[in-house]
């Protein structure tokens, strides 16, 4: 079978990373399953070095410790650079694997490795999407761009396993964003993996697996306060990027309208707390004008209020 690297760009202390590595250690492993773990450590926490040494007894780990704080683009790219295996699985340090994850992957690799460049892996953080997933059926990548499959349109990097050689051919598109320090200020430093996915895999064969592979440990991430910006500004930009690279027009319109379901309430939050959001007034105004043709732009206050009411039931 082809080989797999689990690439973990970490920027936190050892607590979450240790749980992640324990889950990898405890997962059932088929006899011929060839994998390693590649960790790019940007946490500046020296305790991670001892932690990694402990787990090297259980499986192969390629580890790089950065002595200077870098950004999420550099950290992600460095984690993949540590691999020379065929397939890559980008995993957050706050994700844990389910016990049968490797067993399920082994079956996919054994039967479908020559037909596919990308595997969609379902996760417990996505609710009620199983009925929309076609079990073990080959699709094209652009068919994954559907809110019924992933509400952030593949924004969660751990939802996919991909061929490394196609990533390598396209990673130069992120070169200008490796040194920037203001994260979430551009699409490229918000969802860097999607820039490469769009270039490399838009028309690639994808296998969708509806089985659950990961669970998230952290409910409120350190960037959660930026979610209004990500949800209503960056995700529409993601969709525009998909459209520019071949996403069918009708699918784009449907997804773009869906992405604006909270636009006006989120825009108001950004205006009220502008100092914490990396976006100018001009850019916010420009995004507002570009969304005027979509029904959810106008309905967003009502949709927002209904969602709040529904949560409180």
Domain residue spans in the chain?
4-219, 227-312
Q: Which pLDDT value is given to residue 91?
A: 96
Largest CA distance in the chain: 58
> Which phi-psi region, left, alpha or beta, contains residue 45 (left: φ > 0; alpha: ψ -120 to 50)?
beta
Torsions phi, psi for 37 (to 5 deg): -120, 130
Angle (CA) 145 158 58, round 5°: 160
pLDDT of 301 strictly over 60:
yes
Confidence of residue 193 (pLDDT cuts 50, 70, 90): very high
Count of H helices and E strands in the chain? 12, 9
d(CA 133, CA 71): 34
d(CA 119, CA 99): 18
Q: Which pLDDT value is given to residue 14?
A: 80
Q: Which pLDDT value is given to residue 136?
A: 55
Confidence of residue 250 (pLDDT cuts 50, 70, 90): very high
Q: Which pLDDT value is given to residue 133?
A: 76
Options 3.90.550.10, 3.40.50.20, 3.30.420.40, 3.30.565.10; CATH of 4-219: 3.90.550.10
d(CA 153, CA 198): 12
pLDDT of 35 strictly over 90:
yes
Sign of the torsion angle spanned by Cα atoms 94, 175, 278, 239: negative
d(CA 183, CA 198): 20
The larger pLDDT score, comparing residue 274 to residue 181, is at 274
pTM, two decimals, is 0.93
Angle (CA) 202 207 210, round 5°: 120
Q: Which pLDDT value is given to residue 12?
A: 78
pLDDT digits (tens, 9 = 90+) for 199-211: 999 999 999 988 9
The larger pLDDT score, comparing residue 223 to residue 159, is at 159
Q: Which of 139-148, 178-187, 216-225 has the highest mean pLDDT?
A: 139-148
Sign of the torsion angle spanned by Cα atoms 241, 219, 288, 254: positive
pLDDT over 70 for what percent of the chain?
96
Q: Which pLDDT value is given to residue 309?
A: 84
pLDDT of 171 strictly over 70:
yes
d(CA 212, CA 125): 9
């Amino acid at each position: 079978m082809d080989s797999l690297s689990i690439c973990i760009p970490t920027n936190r202390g050892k607590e979450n990373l240790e749980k992640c590595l324990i889950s990898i250690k405890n997962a059932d492993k088929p006899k011929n399953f060839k994998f390693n773990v590649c960790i790019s450590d940007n946490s500046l926490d020296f305790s991670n070095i001892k932690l990694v040494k402990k787990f090297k007894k259980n499986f192969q780990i390629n580890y790089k410790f950065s002595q200077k704080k870098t950004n999420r683009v550099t950290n992600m790219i460095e984690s993949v650079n540590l691999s020379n295996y065929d397939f890559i699985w980008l995993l957050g340090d706050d994700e844990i694997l389910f016990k049968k994850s490797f067993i399920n992957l082994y079956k996919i690799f054994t039967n479908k490795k020559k037909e596919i460049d990308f595997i969609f892996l379902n996760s417990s953080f996505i609710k009620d999407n199983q009925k929309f997933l076609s079990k073990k059926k080959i699709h094209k990548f652009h068919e994954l761009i559907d809110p019924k499959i992933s509400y952030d349109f593949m924004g969660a990097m751990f939802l996919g396993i991909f061929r490394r050689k196609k990533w390598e051919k396209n990673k130069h598109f992120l070169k200008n964003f490796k040194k920037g320090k203001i994260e979430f200020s551009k699409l490229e430093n918000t969802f860097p993996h999607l820039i490469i996915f769009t270039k490399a895999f838009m028309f690639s064969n994808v296998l969708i697996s509806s089985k659950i592979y990961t669970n998230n440990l952290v409910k409120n991430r350190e960037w959660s306060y930026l979610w209004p910006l990500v949800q209503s500004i960056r995700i529409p930009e993601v969709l525009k990027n998909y459209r520019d690279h071949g996403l069918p027009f009708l699918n784009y319109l449907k997804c773009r309208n869906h992405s604006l379901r909270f636009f006006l309430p989120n825009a108001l939050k950004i205006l009220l707390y502008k100092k914490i959001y990396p976006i100018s007034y001009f850019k916010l105004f420009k995004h507002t004008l570009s969304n005027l043709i979509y029904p959810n732009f106008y309905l967003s206050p009502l949709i927002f209020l209904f969602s709040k009411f529904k949560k409180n039931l």
